[in-house]
């Protein structure tokens, strides 16, 4: 193994790390020797993730926490800190998504996604900072909707745009402590809850044509980027929002809009 990607002795916390892309990121750190803690709302998800991760490497901790609640986020850091001390890697990936036209969103429907994706990321960053080692890598999981306006995604576009700017501002403010803050923007990733919600299986063919590389990505490809960003190979990268999307962002996420149109038609 390239020594730069050996995370033995390092400690990582992944919020929203119990399923999907974030679990793949947690698994990649565990496989490369890191102690890994994951947190999300549902006890069953936490238990399953902890059991899965224990088969892949070193120490694993799991916590039930809702990123909308600053106290529950802070409690995770206190518990991890008392077990392992300071952290080398922090990933904020909890999110919520569904297709809905802005006119069909209630105030709470808009708010719930902003609360999870944006306010939740702030809580994770704000409560996590004092637990970070000098030189730590912080990664927010964003989405191309942050910079591409996509119909049926007003809530997500607004929330993820905020996550991108939060990433950049914290890179400015934390750089002096040697902490790097970056964001990964996955494109359509196979076998995920996000894709199940945004691109039902019968639309996969349409969605694929919107990806220049001609296929969906894999969870492991997102995890590889997280490994790179957290390694010394990325020691001079901070404040970057990096798409990992097969070039698809520039096509305007057409598959999502097509799914939204069908949904709207089915409601008429």
Residue ranges binding ligand NAP (CB under 6 A): 16, 18-22, 40-42, 45, 65-68, 93-96, 116, 120, 141, 143, 186, 188-189, 192-195
Residue 108 lies near ligand COA (rule: CB under 6 A): yes
Query: Please, are residues 33 and 8 in contact by the beta-carbon 8 Å criterion?
Result: yes
Residue 206 interacts with ligand COA (CB under 6 A)? no
Q: Residue 151's binding partner, choosing from ligand NAP, ligand COA, none, with beta-carbon cut-off 5 to 8 A by kind? A: none
Provide the 3-class DSSP secondary structure of residue 56: coil
> Measuring CA to CA, which residue among 243, 241, 242 is closest to residue 253?
243
Helix (H, G, I), strand (E, B) or coil at 13: strand
Contact partner at residue 22 from ligand NAP, ligand COA, none, CB < 5 to 8 Å by partner kind: ligand NAP
Partner interacting with residue 108 (select from ligand COA, ligand NAP, none; CB below 5-8 Å by kind)? ligand COA
Strand partners, 39: 15, 63
Q: Given the complex with ligand NAP, which of 84 and 216 has the nearer CB atom?
A: 216
Radius of gyration of the chain (CA): 18
Report if residue 98 touches ligand COA, rule: CB under 6 A.
yes
Tell me the C-alpha distance between 7 and 28, whole Å: 10
Shortest Cβ contact with ligand NAP: which residue?
Answer: 20
Question: Least distance in Å: CB of 174 to ligand COA?
Answer: 26
- To ligand COA, the closest distance from the beta carbon of 199 in angstroms equals 11
Residue whose entry in the numeric block shows the structure tokens 């999502």:
256
The whole-angstrom separation of Cα 165 and Cα 177 is: 19
Give the binding range for ligand COA (CB under 6 A) out of 23-31, 47-55, 90-98, 127-135.
Answer: 90-98
**Residues 217 and 21: beta-carbon distance below 8 Å:** no
Sheet arrangement for strand 35-40: 60-64, 35-40, 11-15, 87-92, 132-141, 180-186, 241-244
Q: Does 64 sit near ligand COA (CB under 6 A)? A: no
Binding residues for ligand COA (CB under 6 A): 95-98, 100, 104-106, 108-109, 112-113, 193-194, 197
């Amino acid at each position: 193994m390239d020594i730069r990607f050996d995370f033995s002795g390092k400690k990582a916390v992944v919020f929203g790390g119990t399923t999907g892309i974030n679990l793949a990121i947690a698994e990649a750190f565990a496989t490369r020797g890191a102690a890994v803690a994951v947190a999300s709302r549902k006890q069953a998800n936490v238990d399953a993730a902890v059991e899965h991760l224990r088969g892949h490497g070193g120490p694993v901790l799991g916590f039930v926490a809702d990123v909308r609640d600053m106290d529950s986020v802070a409690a995770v850091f206190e518990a991890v800190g008392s077990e392992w001390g300071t952290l080398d890697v922090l990933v904020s990936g909890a999110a919520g998504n569904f297709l809905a036209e802005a006119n069909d969103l209630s105030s709470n429907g808009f708010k719930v996604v902003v609360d999870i994706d944006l306010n939740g990321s702030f809580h994770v960053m704000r409560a996590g900072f004092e637990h970070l080692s000098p030189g730590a890598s912080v990664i927010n999981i964003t989405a191309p909707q942050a910079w591409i306006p996509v119909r049926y995604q007003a809530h997500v576009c607004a929330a993820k745009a905020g996550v991108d700017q939060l990433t950049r501002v914290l890179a400015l403010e934390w750089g002096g402590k040697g902490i790097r803050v970056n964001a990964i923007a996955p494109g359509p990733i196979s076998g995920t809850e996000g894709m199940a919600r945004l691109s039902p299986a019968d639309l996969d063919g349409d969605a694929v044509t919107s990806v220049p590389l001609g296929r969906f990505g894999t969870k492991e490809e997102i995890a590889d980027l997280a490994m790179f960003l957290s390694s010394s190979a990325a020691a001079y990268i901070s404040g970057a929002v990096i798409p990992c999307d097969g070039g698809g962002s520039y096509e305007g996420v057409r598959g999502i809009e097509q799914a939204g149109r069908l949904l709207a038609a089915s409601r008429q």
